[in-house]
Amino acid sequence: MKTLRLSALDAETPFIAAELIRRGELVAIPTETVYGLGANGLDETAVAKIFEAKGRPQDNPLILHICGSEQMALFCHDIPEIAYTLAETFWPGPLTMVLPARDCVPRRTTGGLSTVAVRCPDNAVTREIIRLAGVPIAAPSANLSGKPSTTTAEHVLHDHDGKIAAVVDGGACRVGVESTIVDLTEDRPRLLRPGGITPEQLTAVLGDLVIDKAVTAQIDKDAVVKAPGMKYRHYAPAEPVTIVSGSREKAAAYIRRHFTPGDRVLCFEEELPLYAGCNPLAYGREADVNTLSAGLFSALRELDDPKIHQVYARCPVGGGVAYAVQNRLKKAAAFHIVDAEAEV
Ligand code: TXA
Ligand code: MG
């Protein structure tokens, strides 16, 4: 099939994309976080195409994208008041809420779970597509399963050209890492995945937040987890990645000592001079963590090259959006971290 490339700036685009969604086709959609691979979330056959195109395990549920908090009750039940407060505070935006699912949501969409994840993306064209389609759009990140997420239309075409009906090109994604996921189906709210809405922002509204263990540690693939997606190898380029923590100088000394030809260094722009001759790639500025989140997946995709032996990566420290960047990079590194300060 020929994959249409539709510009988000073109007035016809929402109508064409919505019609394709209604017909059960796959359409990649831009959001503020990453591009999603969208289909009618209420149509099992359409949703099955997403799993097939991505090579995604069947038990890994999808997020339903809706165009406003008034749609939550169409697909969820027993919605706590706090969900509406979160929606008012952070929607449209990079926050996904897990709530009990209504029967109209196919189990194929929820990966067999009785809950469903919902989010209202901060992209006007995508919300218009959802509104015109008249159905919620189920959309995982549009990357092939296990690979770094897609933050441009080019990334989507790289992975899916000729296999999906269309991609809506809305330019590079502003946030660059996927949405924050909070589970509201238990006694206490639980952070399942950090993202553009920070734990600090959530705690300010919720007063309480449990950090799920899948956020900070490697999860066994046979484990029972709240967010099934968190147990799979993720965001990973072809070669092993090692995060080197510690001061700029100590980390550079460690990496330069261990570097062999064929390796790459993924670092902050400020550090480029320290890695002359080590083929460094900067993904943003350490002084502005938003540039790191926006640049991370493009950089990881560039490093997804079987000719590279090994990547040494520098990771920002601290909370806020840096927390989400740490989570993605640690997963890409399968939690392989060395502390340059501890090395003699
Ligand atoms: O920013 C985003 O969230 C992007 C854009 C496209 O909206 N989407 C995205 O989807 O990241 P995906 O499928 O790559 O990641 C969704 C995550 C997975 O880890 C999945 O297991 C989890 O959300 N998830 C979905 N439904 C869930 C549910 N009912 N309970 C727990 N976790 C759920
Ligand atoms: Mg994903």
Residues with a beta carbon under 5 angstroms from ion ligand 2: 141
29 - beta bridge partners?
36
- Is the model's pLDDT at 158 over the cut of 70? yes
Cα–Cα distance between 226 and 219 in angstroms, integer? 11
Q: Is the C-beta atom of 33 inside 6 A of ligand 1? A: yes
Mean pLDDT of the chain: 96
329 closest CA partner among 173, 216, 199: 216
Q: Give the mean pLDDT of 88-104.
A: 98
Q: How many CB atoms lie under 10 A from the CB of residue 16? A: 18
Q: Tell me the pLDDT tens digit for each residue of 200-246.
A: 999 999 999 999 998 988 777 677 777 776 666 678 888 899 999 99
pTM of the model: 0.96
27 - beta bridge partners?
38, 166
Percent with pLDDT over 70 in the chain: 98
Query: pLDDT-based confidence at 284, cuts 50/70/90?
Result: very high
pLDDT of 343 reads 77
User: How much distance in Å is there from the Cα of 75 to the middle of ligand 1?
Assistant: 16
**Ligand 1, atom 19, residue with closest C-alpha:** 229
pLDDT of 232 reads 64
User: How much distance in Å is there from the Cα of 146 to the middle of ligand 1?
Assistant: 13
Cα–Cα distance between 221 and 179 in angstroms, integer? 22
Q: Do the first three CATH levels of 4-216 and 241-342 match, i.e. the same topology?
A: no
Ligand at minimal distance from the CA of 96 is: 1
Ligand at minimal distance from the CA of 144 is: 2
pLDDT of 230 reads 67
Lowest mean pLDDT among 4-18, 103-117, 217-231, 272-286: 217-231
pLDDT of 219 reads 76
Query: Which atom of ligand 1 lies closest to the CA of 175?
Result: 1
User: How much distance in Å is there from the Cα of 62 to the middle of ligand 1?
Assistant: 5
User: How much distance in Å is there from the Cα of 118 to the middle of ligand 1?
Assistant: 9
- Is the model's pLDDT at 137 over the cut of 80? yes
96 closest CA partner among 16, 223, 182, 10: 182
- Is the model's pLDDT at 36 over the cut of 70? yes
- Give one DSSP letter per residue of 23-57, joined into a string: TT--EEE--SSS-EEEEETT-HHHHHHHHHHHT--
- Is the model's pLDDT at 1 over the cut of 70? yes
Going from the C-alpha of 28 to that of each of 6, 298, 306, the distances in angstroms are 10, 17, 27
Query: Which atom of ligand 1 lies closest to the CA of 226?
Result: 31
The topology (CATH level 3) of 4-216 is: DHBP synthase (3.90.870)
Among 58, 65, 96, the mutation site with the greatest number of ligand 1 atoms within 8 A of its Cβ is: 96
Query: Which atom of ligand 1 lies closest to the CA of 115?
Result: 29
Residues 6+ apart with CB under 8 A from 151: 34, 35, 172, 173, 176, 294, 297, 298
- Is the model's pLDDT at 74 over the cut of 80? yes
pLDDT of 236 reads 81
Cα–Cα distance between 212 and 226 in angstroms, integer? 8
Cα–Cα distance between 228 and 192 in angstroms, integer? 10
DSSP assignment, residue 87? Answer: H
**Ligand 1, atom 31, residue with closest C-alpha:** 227
pLDDT of 231 reads 65
- Is the model's pLDDT at 5 over the cut of 70? yes
> Where are the chain's structural domains?
4-216, 241-342
User: How much distance in Å is there from the Cα of 276 to the middle of ligand 1?
Assistant: 39
**Ligand 1, atom 3, residue with closest C-alpha:** 179
Contact 196, 93 (CB under 8 A): yes
Helix (H) or strand (E) holding 58: none
Contact 37, 54 (CB under 8 A): yes
pLDDT of 143 reads 97
Q: Is the C-beta atom of 115 inside 6 A of ligand 1? A: yes
pLDDT of 224 reads 72
Q: Is the C-beta atom of 226 inside 6 A of ligand 1? A: yes
pLDDT of 217 reads 85
Query: Selecting from 3.40.50.11030, 3.40.470.10, 3.40.50.1950, 3.30.1490.20, what CATH number does the domain 241-342 have?
Result: 3.40.50.11030
% helix, strand, coil for the chain, step of 5:
35, 20, 45
Dihedral in degrees, nearest 10, Cα atoms 111, 117, 68, 72: 80
Query: pLDDT-based confidence at 94, cuts 50/70/90?
Result: very high
pLDDT of 233 reads 66
- Is the model's pLDDT at 154 over the cut of 70? yes
